[in-house]
A and B are shown apart, each in its own frame.
Chain A
Amino acid sequence: MKKNHKAKWLFPFALASFVLLSACGGGAKPASEAAPAAGGQSAQTESASKDPIRVGAIFSMTGPNSPLGVPEKQAVELLVKELNGAGGVDGHPIEVIFEDDKSDNTEAVKAIKKLVSKEKVVAVLGSSGSGPSLGMAEFAAAEKLPLISMAAADQITNPVRAGIFKTPHTDAHGTKRIFTYLKEKGITKIATLNDSNPYGSGWTQQLQKYAPEYGITIVAEEKYGTKDPSMSSQLTKIKGTDAQALIVAGTNPGPATIVKEAKQLNLSIPIISSHGSANSKFLELVGDAGNGVLMVAGKLLVSDQVDANDPQSAIIKKFVDGYQAAYKSEPDGFAGYGYDGLNILVEGLKQAGGDASKLGEVLEKVNYVGVTGEFKFSAEDHNGLTEDSMIMVEVKDGKFQILK
């Protein structure tokens, strides 16, 4: 019995020493693991067609951002097939390793660390939401890992950090485009009703910032909670002001609810909604009440109405046709962000001649015509878009009509 007792005591120590031993082995292990990788690199120069280029992609496949993440992933998958079918980048096939951040900041940071340490990726795409993207950018900037985000927040690329890029239009672009339109129409007094989430509050800041520049006064500034079932109290307040137009920034279903309730309250001023709600879901939600609503959006939204002389028309047509064939649905703006993200990365890889360490610098010089807009990256601008690539559309009988 006594012996038995002793043995039990020995156990943790035996375990500890065993583990420590394996730890010493563990120290050597990365080296042995690195060896084939290094071998692979040298093989790259010899037989270029074999090694895949490993790219990480973190999208929100579940959680509140999943309506963004799912089309983004689909677009990237589509493009990977297309690229590899055409021989990849200089003969290297592209391999994309997907991770789901569950719309959660901590999960996103864990995911990017995993992609770097376990999967040894050369660059990362994502994520869909602003919070997760900012967390990932923090890590990527420290590790000098190129990152192309599909999230809206201006903070991702402002201030500019080495290697951190993003593809969507920012709230600043949308704001400027709307204000240009209002100026044309001679409207000077506006009301705003924005979501209180990061997307809406980003818009609120930009609207405030650029209003004086365009000679516009914000006479009422209201907000609503993402899950609020009714915004009629805010709309009643706005009705009592002398605003000539109402700007709404949020993601569905909020803006659709606002449009419907405004109609019930006989609010007669024009409503302009942001690109966050510019998709077919919005049309479905508003129904007949949507007639006459204006929206700011990328050209992809009205892919069939894009002028044939437009530089973007070719790539938009190719993307829409490919996406429809693969998924039997219309691609929305988010799918476009993902598609452009990987295309920009591939452009960078081509220019860097397959040298991933140069990728961060090379991406700064990329000029690329995408489905979202014409990207012109520079050392000062890691978004590369201007408000000119956005258009104003009007909802007419359940369809988006481009405003000339």
Chain B
Amino acid sequence: MKHVIDKWGKSILVYLVLMIVFPFVMPDEYYRSVGIIIGLQAIVAIGLCLVMGLAGQISLGQAAFWGIGAYTSAVLTTKYGLPVGVGLIASAIVPALFAFILGRAIAGLQGYYLAMATLAFGYIVQIGISEWESVTGGASGMISIPKITFFGDSELSMYYLIWGVVTCVLLFSLNLLHSRVGRAFRAIHKSEIAATSMGIDVRKFKLNAFVVSGMFAGISGGLYAHYIGILDPQPFGLHESIKFLTMVVIGGMTSIWGALVGTLLIGSISEALVLMSEIIPGLQGDIDTIVFGGILVLIVMFMPEGLVPRIRTAYEKAQAKKRKASAVETQTVERKATT
């Protein structure tokens, strides 16, 4: 236990406790399904965080990897009758391959150009899904995608399955962050030129981050397909990509925890707005998009590093102050003892 805490900090304990007890605090089935959707988004957001925060890249096409993952598993299981497990494994591999090819092609791009390229990729995938009717069912989509049953198909078991995956993804990413690879990523984020001069193969690292993020998005997509049971191209567009981006930016790009906190925050605000709209009817509908936009603007203006890094800095400052105070205290005690 001590070892785990030393390695990842106390946050992991708080996370585990909250994650495990949540479905019992909210014994309502509905909040479990909200928890599942948030978990699915968190997996994508953590992957995107690796690309954006660590490797300093931008991706406006994350929903495309999500969609590729979803369709891969759905097509394999529904059309070809393969077991769900095989579909899910394929839903990790196929998007990673796409990410690899895309990453190779656009590895030299930076800033706006990279944003444009990923944006275009997102559109291509969404149009591709709509047009490849013989496989994807086109715009009318696919129905009767089998459920994941190896844990039982209740909302609760699905919740633990999804959050189990979130935990794995989280631990993997945190581990990566604390390794040589993570340090290399941060060096690239600060300055690509400096990183290159330190002997870091910038191209290779960027590509790796891209592939890993594609894989995470794909896993989440596969789980989504089996959870919802139907697919059409609607959820895999730019709107969703921007939502993922917002989650990462609000939480703080440079922190893996930030991605998780950002996702939770967006999810909880959505739900809070739904609850409030029952009292104030004016809050119905697309109001959440406006609220998210507003939060994003405020974050970018006043807290460009994001919520989690800001809170962490504030906490560390407070700790340092305390340490100073206690140091003074012990000094006086020691002095008293000597006299």
Contact = CB atoms under 8 A, between A and B. Distances in A.
A26 B24 contact: yes
Interface string A126-149: 000011001101110000000000
A263 interface: no
Given A100-B284, A139-B229, A16 B139 contact: no
B141 A134 contact: yes
Nearest to B229: A138
Interface in B230-285: 230, 232, 234-235, 284-285
Q: How extensive is the interface on chain B, given as a class?
A: 35 or more
Interface in B137-178: 138-141, 143-144, 155
Nearest to A21: B24
Contact of B24 (A22, A106, A110, A138): A22
B30 interface: yes
A113 B35 CA distance: 13
Contacts of B285: 61-62, 100, 102
Contacts of A15: 17
Interface in A61-112: 61-63, 100, 102-106, 109-110
B21 interface: yes
Interface string B12-38: 011001000100110111100110010
Interface in A18-38: 19-20, 22-23, 26-27, 29-30
Given A22-B24, A109-B228, A196 B143 contact: no
A200 B286 CA distance: 26
Nearest to A114: B30
A198 B139 contact: yes
Contacts of A135: 228-230
B179 interface: no
A387 to B, nearest CB: 20
Nearest to A99: B274
A140 B140 CA distance: 19
A42 interface: no
Contacts of B329: 1
Contacts of A1: 322, 326, 329
A264 interface: no
Contacts of B21: 16, 19-20, 23
B139 A201 contact: yes
A23 B228 contact: no
B141 A131 contact: yes
Contacts of B37: 106, 110
Given A138-B143, A198-B140, A201-B138, A131 B234 contact: yes
B4 to A, nearest CB: 14
B123 to A, nearest CB: 11
Contacts of A109: 33, 228
Given A63-B286, A105-B234, A134-B232, A22 B25 contact: yes
Contacts of B155: 113
A186 to B, nearest CB: 32
B33 A113 contact: yes
A202 B139 CA distance: 9
A39 interface: no
A105 B224 CA distance: 11
Given A12-B13, A110-B34, A113-B30, A131 B25 contact: no
B30 A12 contact: no
A153 interface: yes
Contacts of A139: 229
B143 A134 contact: yes
Contacts of B130: 196
Contacts of A114: 30
B201 interface: no
A117 B139 CA distance: 31
A16 B17 contact: yes
A27 B25 contact: no
A139 B230 CA distance: 10
Contacts of A138: 143-144, 228-230
B24 A117 contact: no
Given A19-B21, A20-B21, A134-B143, A105 B230 contact: yes
Nearest to B232: A131
Given A110-B37, A113-B30, A130 B284 contact: no
Contacts of B316: none
A135 B74 CA distance: 14
A236 B322 CA distance: 78
Contacts of B284: 61-62, 100
B218 to A, nearest CB: 17
A197 interface: yes
Nearest to A155: B143
A118 interface: yes
Contacts of B131: 196
Contacts of A63: 286
A105 B24 CA distance: 27
Contacts of B229: 135, 138-139
A118 B28 contact: yes
Given A105-B230, A131-B234, A139-B229, A201 B28 contact: no
Point out which of B34, B130, B228 has the most chain A C-beta atoms below 10 A from its C-beta.
B228
11 contacts: A1-B322, A12-B14, A22-B24, A27-B27, A113-B33, A113-B155, A114-B30, A134-B141, A134-B143, A197-B139, A202-B140
Interface of B: 10, 13-14, 17, 21, 24-25, 27-30, 33-34, 37, 130-131, 133, 138-141, 143-144, 155, 228-230, 232, 234-235, 284-286, 322, 326, 329
Given A23-B25, A131-B232, A155-B143, 10 more contacts: A19-B24, A62-B286, A102-B285, A117-B29, A131-B141, A134-B141, A134-B143, A155-B140, A198-B139, A200-B139
- Please name the 3 residue pairs, one residue from A and one from B, whose CB atoms are nearest each other, closest first: A23-B24, A62-B285, A138-B229
